[in-house]
Amino acid sequence: MRYCGWVVRKVQVGRVLILEVSTSSSVRLSVLVFKPERDRDFYATVRDVDVGTALCFEGFPAEEQKSKRGIEYVVEKLEIYAKPLEPLPVDTAGKTPVLLDTRLKYRWLLARKPEERAIVRIRSGIIKAAREYFEANGFTEIHTPKIVAAGAEGGATLFKVQYFENDAYLSQSPQLYKQMLIASFEKVYEITPYFRAEKFNTPRHLNESWGIDAEQGFISSVEDVMKTLEELVAYIVNYVSKNYREELEELGIQPLQLTTPFKRLKFTEVVDLLRSEGVDVRENEDLSDYAERKLGEIMSEKKHYLYFIVGFPWSSTAFYYMREEDGIYTRKFDLDFKGLEIASGGQREHRYEKLVEALKDKGLNPENYSFYLEAFKYGMPPHGGFGLGIERLLMKILNLENIREAVLFVRDRTRLIP
Ligand code: ATP
Ligand code: MG
């Protein structure tokens, strides 16, 4: 076998030279052991190799595995591809701790470290699993525009861009477009960036984040949508537990096995529950971060790590959610994972007249949404969907403290490079 990678550490023990190499074949390091009598041909070359060197080797695992740091190899062939021009700015061997700020600046280099690599690989596993789930369940993958004329969630949170003679915005959600496609597809999904211009600085917000969006038509109730979401999340989490054991072990994470259905709580129930615990909650507003975390603690005690909150009040939701007859509550839900919202979704308003009314009720001008509204004129079936945050899900699977750890290149209030 041929393996390629980078030297993260070089050690000499007596006359034995050891190169620890990070390769793509495994998150575990490859430990190349060179003995002067056995490896006379390589010995001079290896003595010259610096940390950071890119190389390939052919060899086989040593009979006796003594290293705790990785898999030991006896090398038969060695090719040097590139030497570092200067010493590395960070320790890729994982021997010196790195501050978050430095970590975010040099993530692309630190990804040579098993732990950092593990996070990136599991993120890629989440996407793989999501595609597998959707493809097996009749969803078509779509791509909707990221340069748009109107936002889905309101103007204050949009990044403006100059689009020739017109003002345009970066898309904060594929909401409007994925709904329009329910005029011609029963089930669609998109793996997409969300751009949000909120000036937040929290451990759970990014200004460019990624989501798994789905929308499905011909539903009989919001339950159909919740079922899709819980099946998807259970599929992803169980897929990661099964296929990324080494990565999880590297991060010290116990693999999680999820079963569906997840617990469903009515919004009004949540209000009562939180109030009984002395938490201040308003009936007509979204739950605060604190209330969400508190609920997470209560639910975790009952071993409910993932749970839905259903029936948010109309005063707290976007215009496109279907309202109940009472006009007060909606068919919007959140999916929370240990006290953090990881997804929002619900049944949408598919009746043209009601939708126009809803826009007006939210103080929006229906004329700005005419391209969207038109899709509701020609046989729009009852439908619903959700947006699931990839970084938030990854964060919760891996117990990451800060959402910034879940992306390779962070876009937040103060980070535009690298
Ligand atoms: P929050 O209330 O937590 O700010 P939201 O309700 O505004 O999130 P949604 O519009 O419901 O977010 O987006 C769907 C999902 O996408 C969220 O549940 C979350 O997982 C993820 N998401 C949304 N905005 C962000 C962001 N700024 N950073 C990271 N993830 C996000
Ligand atoms: Mg939400």
* Per-residue pLDDT reduced to its tens digit, 256-278: 999 999 999 999 999 999 999 99
Structural domain containing residue 53: 2-88
* Coil, helix or strand at residue 186: coil
The preferred substitution site among 192, 194, 290, 337 for testing ligand 1, maximizing ligand atoms within 8 Å of CB, is 194
278, two tokens: 């002395």
Say which CATH number the domain at 22 has. 2.40.50.140
Of all protein residues, whose CA lies closest to atom 25 belonging to ligand 1?
A: 205
If you measure from the C-alpha of residue 327 to the centroid of ligand 1, how many angstroms do you get, rounded to a whole number? Answer: 25
> Ligand 1 pocket, 340 CB below 6 A?
no
Provide φ and ψ at 406, rounded to 5°.
-95, 0
73: CA distance to ligand 2 center in Å? 49
* Same domain, residue pair 71 and 214: no
136 lies in the same domain as 58: no
Amino acid at 416: L
Q: Which atom of ligand 1 is nearest to the CA of 344?
A: 11
Check the CA dihedral 262-317-179-162 and report its sign.
negative
Ligand 1 lined by 404 (C-beta under 6 Å): no
CA of 107 to the centre of ligand 2 (A): 28
- Comparing CA positions, the residue from 167, 139, 169 lying closest to residue 152 is 169
| 344: nearest Cα among 102, 231, 175 | 175
294: nearest Cα among 308, 280, 274: 274
Does one domain contain both 75 and 134?
no
Query: Do 138 and 202 reside in the same domain of the chain?
Result: yes
Domain co-membership, 80 together with 121: no
DSSP-derived secondary structure letter, 314: G
CA 250–ligand 2 middle distance (angstroms): 32
Residue 107 lies in a domain: no
- Residue 355, classed as helix, strand or coil, is helix
Taking CA atoms, 378 is separated from 105, 372, 374, 383, in Å, by 50, 12, 8, 14
Q: Are residues 168 and 291 in the same domain?
A: yes
Q: Which residues of the chain have pLDDT under 50?
A: none
Evaluate whether residue 416 is within a structural domain: no
For ligand 1, what atom is nearest to the CA of residue 196?
Answer: 27
SS3 state of residue 43: helix
241 lines ligand 1 (CB under 6 A): no
Does 342 sit in the ligand 1 pocket, CB within 6 Å? yes
- Scanning the structure block, which residue is given the tokens 């040099």? 106
Q: Six-digit token pair at 95?
A: 């021997």
Of 88, 106, 138, which residue sits at a domain end?
Answer: 88
Q: Is 391 in the pocket of ligand 1 (CB under 6 A)?
A: yes
**How many structural domains are present in the chain?**
2
Residue 26 and residue 174 share a domain: no
Distance, in Å, from the CA atom of 296 to the CA atom of 103, rounded to the nearest integer, reads 29
Class of residue 408 by CB neighbours under 10 A (exposed 0-12, middle 13-18, buried 19+): middle
Q: Which residues are catalytic?
A: 196, 198, 204-205, 341, 344, 392
Residue 47 DSSP symbol: H
Listed in sequence order, the DSSP H helices in 50-187 are: 100-105, 107-110, 114-136, 175-180
Q: Are 203 and 289 a contacting pair, CB within 8 Å?
A: no
DSSP code of residue 189: E
Residue 106 lies in a domain: no
CB of 211 closer than 6 angstroms to any ligand 1 atom: yes
**Which CATH number goes with the domain that contains 243?**
3.30.930.10
Q: Give the closest residue (by CA) to ligand 1 atom 3.
A: 341
320 shares a domain with 244:
yes
- Atom in ligand 1 nearest the alpha carbon of residue 390: 20
Question: Helix, strand, or coil here: 234?
Answer: helix
Residues 147 and 194 in one domain: yes
The answer to whether 358 touches 330, Cβ cutoff 8 Å, is no
pLDDT at 39: 87
What's the full length of the chain, in residues?
418
Residues 376, 231 share a domain: yes
What's the alpha-carbon Rg for the chain, to the nearest Å?
Answer: 26
Would you say 39 and 77 are in contact if contact means Cβ atoms under 8 Å apart?
Answer: no
Looking at residue 154, its pLDDT comes to 61
Q: Is residue 412 part of a domain?
A: no
Q: Is 123 in the pocket of ligand 1 (CB under 6 A)?
A: no
Q: Which ligand is nearest to the CA of 386?
A: 1
394's tokens: 């990854």
In a domain, 101, yes or no: no
Token output for 188: 């669609």
Instruction: Looking at the structure, tell me whether residues 83 and 128 fall in a common domain.
Output: no
Alpha carbon of 303 to ligand 1 centroid (Å): 24
Find, among 379, 378, 397, the residue nearest to 389 by Cα. 397
Domain identity same for 20 and 69: yes
Q: 139: how many CB neighbours lie within 10 A of its CB?
A: 22
Ligand 1 atom closest to 387 (CA):
14
Helix (H, G, I), strand (E, B) or coil at 247: helix
Does residue 229 lie within any of the structural domains? Answer: yes
96 in a structural domain? no
Distance CA 362, CA 319 (A): 6
Query: Where is the domain boundary, 37, 72, 88?
Result: 88
pTM recorded for the entire structure = 0.96
The pLDDT, as a whole number, for residue 152 is 61
* 258 located within any domain: yes
